[in-house]
Structure 1
Amino acid sequence: MIEIKDAPGTKGRQVRLSVSDLDAVYRLHLAATGAVGRPELIKPESRDFFERILGGGGSIVGFVSDDALIAYGVLQFDLPPAEDARPLLGLGAGDRLAKLAGASVLPEAWGGGLHDELIHLRVDEARRAGIRHLYATSAPGNLRSWPNLVDAGFAVRAIVEKYGGHLRYILHRDLETAGPQETGGAWCPVEDIGRQRALIAAGSAGMRWRRRADGGRDLFYRGVA
């Protein structure tokens, strides 16, 4: 565990994790996914997955408070064919792509902004590594995940079935541009998967979101020139 710096407020210390932290990462993963209890919203990962990342397949950054790991975020460089989103994003084989491959926050620390911080930390890490394109997957029903990604400049570019047939947004960000040129636009309820897929097929991407009066969420789809 390598300390990066103190985090703002009471979020603890920012750290970059190593193979020696494998057990702590996996325990936190089990605690966070167990608290949600819905594998259709959050993909359960194996201990081997984290071992591969920490062994050189990527990096894991996190937050420590009172010497305990309270949050982590995975940045995956080595993408197996099933996780290579270049075809979905219209990228070529030579385009450098990495994945924000999951994040977990100790349930007692939910709501403290750690998920947002982990997104920004990994974006900075990708820039330092010379990565241009980043992507992430998030279930449409995971309201703790994709809104934070959209707020951080990611756009919904596809909706696919993954991880046992569960729906996932594919969100993309080009780190070398301020964002795609936008034309037109329409709000669409997150629950309306068919309409969102039609908007994406017509060349639009989900770039902003809003909370409805009934507690639901809408995504704003705009054409990408």
Structure 2
Amino acid sequence: MMRGALAVSSDLTLRRLTLSDLAAVDELNLLAVGPRIDPNVVKPESHAYFESIFAGRGFFVGVFDGPLLVAYAILQHDHAAKDDPRESLGLPPGAPVGRLAGARVAPAYRGRHLQRALIAARVAAAPPDMLLFSTAAPVNTPSWCNLLAEGFPIRDIQFFFGGYARYLMVRDGSSYDPAASIVVDPLDTERQKVLFAEGWRGYARGQLETGAPGVIFGKPALG
């Protein structure tokens, strides 16, 4: 687990949050997402959900500028039955599995790679026997790009949180051959579902012929 405060940059520090930080989490959540949230892009989160994480469903990691909370992220290990990922991941009931859940960065601190730092911090803080996964909307390019860069390839497109399309991204340590890959439009759900069924995985960001972001697909290397 994390010990004390870890340096993020020369002026920012990172540490585990406690219940005393709950009001700051609520405030940052509203600041980061605004008064209206599109659930097709970002999962809405509530004060009650935050309380449940502090009560034992997981933990928060926060980035501070002095006393000010400027970014946070959640690792959740207790999952609601309707969103339990174990069957989708081929895991038995009760297997340790953690979801990299909601993350927020204050607008003034965006562009400083804090999302990636928070992904890495949660990976480092998770128990070694816990399988880690996350979800990201195909339309939310920054989210899935950061997860890909931190070793979470895309395994499937599923519907979570009341029926919204999300990439299922699982940290499994797989490697891929760039010479045997293709670039796919993240909005082309039908083609991606076919590739997933054939054993392909999305493992890096690419670029479509139009110049728009694409997902590089390959098959995990054997051995």
TM-score by length of 1: 0.88
User: In structure 2, what residue type is equivalent to 1:43?
Assistant: K
Q: Is the 8 A contact 1:17 1:61 kept in 2?
A: yes
- Corresponding residue number in structure 2 for 1:4: 5
After TM superposition, the structure 1 stretch with the greater mean CA deviation from structure 2, 204-213 or 106-115, is 204-213
- Corresponding residue number in structure 2 for 1:49: 49
Secondary structure, aligned partner of 1:59: strand
- Corresponding residue number in structure 2 for 1:210: 206
Structure 1 residue 223: Cα displacement: 2.3
User: In structure 2, what residue type is equivalent to 1:21?
Assistant: D
Which digits, 9 at most, give the CA deviation of each residue in 1:73-119, with x for residues without a partner?
Answer: 10001112222212212222353211001100001111111000000
Q: Once superposed, what is the RMSD of the aligned Cα atoms?
A: 2.1
Q: Percent identity?
A: 34
What does 1:53-202 align with in structure 2 at a 5 Å threshold? 53-93=53-93, 95-126=95-126, 129-174=127-172, 178-179=173-174, 184-202=180-198
Which digits, 9 at most, give the CA deviation of each residue in 1:139-190, with x for residues without a partner?
Answer: 001112110100111011110122233211010013xxx3257694322111
| Structure 2 unaligned spans of 5+ | none
CA distance, structure 1, for counterparts of residue 35 and residue 203 of structure 2: 29
Does the alignment pair 1:223 with 2:219?
yes
After TM superposition, the structure 1 stretch with the greater mean CA deviation from structure 2, 47-56 or 30-39, is 30-39
- Corresponding residue number in structure 1 for 2:27: 27
TM-score by length of 2: 0.89
Secondary structure, aligned partner of 2:5: strand
Q: Is the 8 A contact 2:183 2:208 kept in 1?
A: no
CA distance, structure 2, for counterparts of residue 164 and residue 132 of structure 1: 25
User: In structure 1, what residue type is equivalent to 2:22?
Assistant: L
CA distance, structure 2, for counterparts of residue 170 and residue 124 of structure 1: 20
Which digits, 9 at most, give the CA deviation of each residue in 1:117-145, with x for residues without a partner?
Answer: 0000000011xx23431010100011121
Structure 1 residue 204: Cα displacement: 1.3
User: In structure 2, what residue type is equivalent to 1:190?
Assistant: P
When residues 217 and 74 of structure 1 are mapped into structure 2, their CA distance, relative to the original with a 3 A threshold, is same
Task: Tell me how many residue pairs correspond in the alignment.
Answer: 218
Structure 1 residue 59: Cα displacement: 0.8
| Structure 1 unaligned spans of 5+ | none
Secondary structure, aligned partner of 1:145: helix
When residues 24 and 131 of structure 1 are mapped into structure 2, their CA distance, relative to the original with a 3 A threshold, is farther
User: In structure 2, what residue type is equivalent to 1:101?
Assistant: A
When residues 91 and 180 of structure 1 are mapped into structure 2, their CA distance, relative to the original with a 3 A threshold, is farther
Runs (4+) of structure 1 moved beyond 4 Å? 180-184
CA distance, structure 2, for counterparts of residue 171 and residue 84 of structure 1: 14
CA distance, structure 1, for counterparts of residue 159 and residue 191 of structure 2: 16
